[in-house]
Chains A and B, each alone.
Chain A
């Protein structure tokens, strides 16, 4: 790639200790237990691009998001943003400058805004924290500008979050994210709590802002249709690993990994009334005790001995022995 990627995630891992308390382990016996929430995830995002991670609950997509913004330290691996490693101790000052340019939008707009603060104080918080603008008058002007940018009225700044609907609150969260002149925004299920017509408003707004401000998005969602609409490249996660990564159009036209095929087939789509679907088998296994080899093997119709023993590497955008060996033809969606 000639173009240097803006965000680079290298072999990110996160292990959670989910053991019983020490005393219980001593009295009742039992080993320490670890949960590998994220197990070697790598991807890169170019500037101005939207990269999406999609997967079912427990696939580790939100954990990746939290590690990328630095809310959660990775157990292993590295996040490099604009050439600066987020984990290196040396470049502290540089990392500080970088932090300002990374923001996050959360799923629940009811929980992510302080209910006791007026909206203008919420939106001004990053400006004050990073000392971006001096002088109250200038800050007020900037907050008004930000509120208009996301489709609210500058006078709305005097209200409290409870006076707004879910969609408007998500607009406030976006205004707050933009307040520090962020360039890279991590969106963790930004529209899952919203109704479809409001979701459409927010998705349109996010795309408009991207065009105007050249934003880079990491978009986390479980909704494949939303992801298709928003992202140029998509990574599909299953039990802490990326099983397939490809550009949006290709992923939906020619899914390679059996899990992606199953997932696409499972989505109820408005267009396909009355269509027969291939029944989905099983559920996502317990991540504390994942299957050996390819973690998808118990649900996979193409699994063989190798799949049960050996973890497939991510080659040419897909982590599947059956595809690598040519056992599984790459065709249109089943």
Chain B
């Protein structure tokens, strides 16, 4: 098997607070291959954005990476000194944030921001960098890029700004792009355009993309594989079609049923009772056990480890062969 672009092994992220240590990420592992889009879904507080920040080395104190490894094309990056990490960031890992207005500097023209980024990471001349910037804007679908390049960020609409941010992330042709809720601030019709663009980039450049979002629809459209996160852990990970249409983990099942559909009529949506536990009060055993309809004794005491189940990996005792209850939810 070829080496994955990103490999995360048993990653743990903690936040030290006055009231104790909060485990935001508690032992997650996944790989992203070349040209692959891994979707990371979950509700607020599940730890999806923290995972993205950890990979790119942007966890600020009081947060810290407490354990595990992050490998970028086989090179360990979680323990790099800040100066070296700064060179990896931007050059080898690009980042797209949710709000395109805050990720662009409002005081500089788009051309200056793009050229600066390109010249930081490559040794192109100023005029060659400008030419490349125009090419990038054309590639992300900005009409008349030679004219638009000298505009300020506020002169662009939300969708166009997000395209500029994507162009910025592409400047140094990174191996990996982390897109944190890239379409959440956008209207549906614009969202569809951005999704199409991201898919095209993965296909044409072989860029690995980690797509963090709470929108299952976006994942279903874009991702090749999907990881469902709950309370800092991966509940289920597998090929997108399988996870969406045939989720195994009770939380993933509930999550899929809770989404209103455009195609079918349902009288009531599936309701998961309760809400995600606070980080300071994650229950022992399986973190989902107080909300789970299939809970049994073992779930309350023993933490489920991910189990391979056909193409999925699922962290649930129900699928453990040694567990008696496994036939109960077929």
Contacts and interface: CB of A to CB of B under 8 A. Distances in A.
A254 to B, nearest CB: 14
From DSSP, what is the main secondary structure of chain A's interface residues?
helix
B255 interface: yes
Interface string B179-223: 000000001111111011000000000000000001111101110
A1 interface: no
Contact of A197 (B43, B215, B263): B43
Given A225-B260, A273-B221, A204 B269 contact: yes
Contacts of B160: 283
Contacts of A166: 44
A57 B276 CA distance: 30
B157 interface: yes
Contacts of A214: none
B221 to A, nearest CB: 4
Nearest to A201: B271
Interface stretch (A25-33, A154-162, A260-268): A260-268
A270 B255 contact: no
Given A197-B271, A200-B269, A267 B217 contact: yes
Contacts of B244: 270, 273
A166 B261 CA distance: 23
A62 to B, nearest CB: 14
Contacts of B275: 165, 167, 197-198
B192 A277 contact: yes
B260 A203 contact: yes
B187 A204 contact: no
Given A195-B43, A274-B241, A263 B218 contact: no
Interface in A30-70: 56-57
Contact of A196 (B188, B218, B255): B255
Contacts of B214: 195-196
A268 B221 contact: yes
Nearest to B263: A271
B159 to A, nearest CB: 6
A270 B188 contact: no
A196 B259 contact: yes
A12 B258 CA distance: 36
A153 interface: no
B68 to A, nearest CB: 27
A198 B255 CA distance: 10
Count chain B CB atoms within 10 A of each CB in A197, A225, A262 and give the residue with the most: A197
A266 B191 contact: yes
A263 B218 CA distance: 15
22 contacts: A195-B276, A196-B255, A196-B258, A196-B259, A200-B269, A200-B271, A204-B268, A204-B271, A207-B268, A228-B261, A228-B262, A252-B262, A266-B189, A266-B192, A267-B262, A268-B220, A269-B262, A271-B262, A273-B244, A277-B192, A279-B193, A280-B190
Interface of B: 43-44, 157, 159-160, 187-193, 195-196, 214-218, 220-222, 240-241, 244-245, 254-263, 265-266, 268-272, 275-276
